[in-house]
Structure 1
Amino acid sequence: MIRATCYMIRATRYVLHEIHMLGISEIKLGSVAKVDGEPYVVIWTQHVQMGRGGAILRTKIRNLISGAVLERTLKGADKWESADLERSRASFLYVEGDEVYFMEAETYEQFSLSAGNVGSAVNYLVEGTEVDVLKFEGNPVSIQLPTKIKIKVTEAPPGIKGDTAQGGSKQITLQTGHKISAPLFIKEGEEIVVNTETDSYVERA
């Protein structure tokens, strides 16, 4: 009798995480990179051409965890590791002190971010505003607003007789207290569309 011995071969599966490095030519405003093990977003850049074809990149970067701003300069072959950020949806709840509170769309869990991490986005946050939440290693670190949002005008100086869509501009106050320039014909109580990236009026809602 011939015995057949069966051997089970277990294949070990390795998942390799590809690390993407950002060179001087790839680092731009809004780039998110790992610096000293923590996630930073680039908020200012200046390319400087040096002698003999060399170049350096001056940057200002904001820590997505602490909100601290640093200045860093990269030369030649210097590179930063791109930071992997997860995204989820949430809605704005309220502000209490220096903390801004949100609720996750899927889990309904509430969390807060420091005002420093939310930055100028707070100028357009009204109750229920939906945002993208950026997470680093599972923890919320920042948010991104839609490029365009609808928001109510709470104060608008009276226009000048004969105001038209082609007229001048005036400063108005939004329901968050933020002030922007808008056409003379915009009135208190109206809803308008605002570009959150350029901090500017787009059109009537």
Structure 2
Amino acid sequence: MPKINGNEIRPGNVLEHDGGLWAAVKVNHVKPGKGGAFAQVELKNLRDGRKLNERFRSEDKVEQVRLETKDQQFLYETDGMLVFMDSETYEQIELPADLLGDRRPFLQDGMMVAVEYYGEEALSVRLPQKVTCKVVETEPVVKGQTAANSYKPAVLDNGVRIMVPPFIGTDEDIIINTELGEYSERA
């Protein structure tokens, strides 16, 4: 595995640190008036979700890990486990549903996702950035209400509550940004 200097850490890098695998969430480069420069890095453990703030000086060496990404199709959920199938080998794997966290409701039957592997261990599931959902409950559309920043609550077909613009009505298909969990546009 390649070793990188502490000042080369970027958000999204996966590092082997303190005997675990950590993803760099935020990186802030600090150049104090006295002493050497360092990178203040917020890390998230890929196995258990713990967070850690760590300082890396430019002379510190850290192991950068390359994760292998495989496209897999979601098949079904059983006993809290999500079953995915590799689209090339047709091999099936089971992953815990809590691996997705609050993005779980956006996972739909037959959806293609990117599963990141470290060796044989699956660490994370990346959903498509945009997903189409149907609005099942919201306030009625009010004519003439076009204020740019006024939003109203809505419930989607997967049970998720989000805020939508006033012109969106019941039974409309909308596109949701899965990373932010927010309304993106009309479908």
The verdict on a shared fold, with TM-score over 0.5 as the criterion, is yes
| Counterpart among 163, 182, 185 of residue 200 in structure 1 | 182
Q: Please list the CA deviations of residues 157-201 of structure 1 after superposition, one character each: whole Å capped at 9, or x if unmatched.
A: 223332449572122223332233221111222221222233332
CA positional deviation for 1:37: 4.6
Instruction: Find the aligned partners of 1:148 and 1:61 in 2 and give their Cα distance.
Output: 26
1:151 paired to 2:133: yes
* Corresponding residue SS for 1:51: coil
* Corresponding residue SS for 1:185: coil
Q: Please list the CA deviations of residues 87-146 of structure 1 after superposition, one character each: whole Å capped at 9, or x if unmatched.
A: 111122444565433232223333233345323432421222211010101221111122
Q: Percent identity?
A: 35
Give the match for residue 76 of structure 1: 58
Give the match for residue 163 of structure 2: 181
Pair 181,108 (structure 1): closer, same or farther in 2 beyond 3 Å:
same
Amino acid in structure 2 at the alignment position of 1:105: S
Instruction: Find the aligned partners of 1:26 and 1:99 in 2 and give their Cα distance.
Output: 37
Q: TM-score, normalised by structure 2?
A: 0.80
Q: Please list the CA deviations of residues 48-70 of structure 1 after superposition, one character each: whole Å capped at 9, or x if unmatched.
A: 33233633333332232333333
Contact 1:194 1:203 in 2 (8 A): yes
C-alpha RMSD of matched pairs (Å): 2.7
Between Structure 1 and Structure 2, whose CA radius of gyration is higher?
Answer: 1
Contact 2:24 2:44 in 1 (8 A): yes
Correspondence 1:55-134 to 2 at 5 A: 55-96=37-78, 98-134=80-116
- Unpaired segments ≥5 residues, structure 2: none
Amino acid in structure 2 at the alignment position of 1:41: A
Give the match for residue 121 of structure 2: 139
Task: Give the number of aligned pairs.
Answer: 187
Give the match for residue 6 of structure 1: none
Report the more deviating stretch, 139-148 or 46-55. 46-55
- Unpaired segments ≥5 residues, structure 1: 1-18
Report the more deviating stretch, 70-79 or 143-152. 70-79
Amino acid in structure 2 at the alignment position of 1:101: V
| Counterpart among 25, 28, 31 of residue 49 in structure 1 | 31
Instruction: Find the aligned partners of 1:70 and 1:133 in 2 and give their Cα distance.
Output: 24
Pair 118,55 (structure 1): closer, same or farther in 2 beyond 3 Å:
farther
